């Protein structure tokens, strides 16, 4: 993966987008609704969130009326209790993401008790019942096909079947694990990699800083020998802009997002002059002082030995020395004869 340089606006630099719902934020159950997210500046793409979580893919729209204003539409064919909630939207500029729009609360009521008027009125209850029936038939056919494939080609399709059934019948997607390499405290100018790990079958990962998206979607990368998927977000140069609180989440199926990970506080510091804590930490300043002190003591001992050797050499006699038993005679002195008195 090639490193990517992130250029971000300071918070508040990009204006908030506006978000509205058509035909309105209060709708009977089963009716369609369209969210319109508009920005006063040119935007590359838009993202719709519900209760702080992405719920709709990016939408791209061109300028309106020849101006810099851009707008994206997000359609929900039939509202229900699951679609009710607080919605916000953000847009991506060439230099980063904007702030979130003001929240828009979508409220869903029971079917309108008043009789519909006009020739264009439609019975959405019957239509929704038909849709649900067709969806149930399609789901049963899909389950039957997967079961048949698992029985006929168990060795090839076992992992796919397990992932499908675990996704189909399991509860909410678990939180991903999130950590920094080499650690959450990085010297200024050094690279840092944020690693987000999820279960097998993850489609894509998503990184946030202080509650705002700061990195494009990252496709999964399966590490060898590990039953799961992960994404690595590389920051080549850590700085004050990089520091902050990060979270990540993953998408296992279209519009099916996990919960956010535990927050990871990334800190960027100058060169470390304080001693670090922990059993593996070492105070190199003290160690170097001890080494220099020992080297000085050894040097003083060596100088003292050399001085003592020089003084002893000056005090030693320069003439012939008398032979003593147990030491060899001087050159020219005859060896004593055996048996001589």
Domains in the chain: boundaries: 1-110, 126-171, 177-269
Predicted local confidence at residue 30, as pLDDT: 93
Name residues of the chain where pLDDT drops below 50. Answer: 1-9, 11, 113-116, 118-121, 155, 157-170, 224-225, 272-281, 319-329, 331, 335, 338-341
**Is CATH 2.60.40.10 correct for 1-110?**
yes
HEC assignment per residue over the chain:
CCCCCCCCCCCCCCCCCEEEEECCCEEECCCCEEEEEEECCCCCEEEEEECCEEEEEEECCCECCCCCCEEEEEEECCCCCCCCEEEEEEEEECCEECCCCCCEEEEEECCCCCCCCCCCCCCHHHHHHHHHHHHHHHHHHHHHHHHHHHHHCHHHHHHHHHHHHHHHHCCCCCCCEEEEECCCEEECCCCEEEEEEECCCCCEEEEEECCEECCCCEECECCCCCCCEEEEEEECCCCCCCCEEEEEEEEEECCEECCCCCCEEEEEECCCCCCCCCCCCCCHHHHHHHHHHHHHHHHHHHHHHHHHHHHHHHHCCCCCCCCCCCCCCCCCCCCCCCCCC
Predicted local confidence at residue 273, as pLDDT: 41
Predicted local confidence at residue 31, as pLDDT: 94
pLDDT in tens, 297-335: 888 888 888 888 777 767 655 544 444 444 444 545 554
We find that the CATH architecture of domain 177-269 is Sandwich (2.60)
């Amino acid at each position: 993966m090639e490193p990517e340089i992130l250029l971000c606006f300071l918070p508040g630099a990009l204006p908030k987008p506006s978000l509205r719902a058509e035909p309105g934020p209060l709708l009977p159950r089963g009716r369609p609704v369209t969210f319109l997210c508009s920005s006063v500046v040119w935007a590359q793409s838009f993202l719709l969130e519900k209760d702080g979580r992405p719920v709709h893919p990016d939408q791209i729209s061109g300028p309106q009326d020849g101006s810099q204003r851009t707008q994206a539409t997000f359609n929900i064919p039939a509202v229900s209790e699951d679609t009710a909630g607080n919605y916000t939207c953000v847009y991506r500029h060439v230099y980063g993401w904007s702030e979130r729009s003001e929240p828009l609360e979508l409220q869903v009521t029971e079917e309108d008790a008043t009789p519909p008027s006009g020739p264009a009125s439609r019975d959405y209850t019957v239509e929704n019942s038909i849709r649900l029936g067709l969806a149930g038939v399609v789901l049963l056919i899909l389950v039957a096909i997967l079961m048949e494939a698992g029985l006929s080609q168990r060795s090839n399709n076992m992992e796919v079947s397990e992932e499908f059934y675990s996704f189909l019948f399991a509860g909410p997607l678990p939180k991903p694990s999130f950590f920094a390499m080499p650690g959450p405290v990085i010297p200024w100018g050094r690279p840092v990699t944020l690693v987000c790990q999820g279960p097998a079958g993850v489609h894509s990962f998503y990184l946030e800083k202080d509650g705002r998206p700061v990195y494009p979607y990252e496709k999964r990368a399966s590490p060898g020998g590990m039953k799961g998927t992960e994404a690595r977000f590389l920051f080549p140069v850590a700085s004050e802009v990089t520091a902050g609180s990060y979270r990540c989440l993953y998408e296992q199926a279209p519009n099916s997002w996990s919960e956010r990970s535990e927050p990871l506080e990334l800190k960027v510091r100058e060169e470390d002059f304080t001693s670090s804590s922990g059993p593996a930490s070492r105070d190199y300043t003290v160690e170097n002082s001890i080494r220099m002190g020992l080297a000085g003591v050894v040097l003083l001992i060596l100088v003292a030995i050399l001085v003592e050797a020089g003084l002893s050499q000056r005090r030693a006699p320069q003439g012939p020395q008398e032979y003593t038993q147990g030491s060899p005679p001087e050159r020219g002195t005859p060896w004593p004869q055996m048996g001589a008195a």
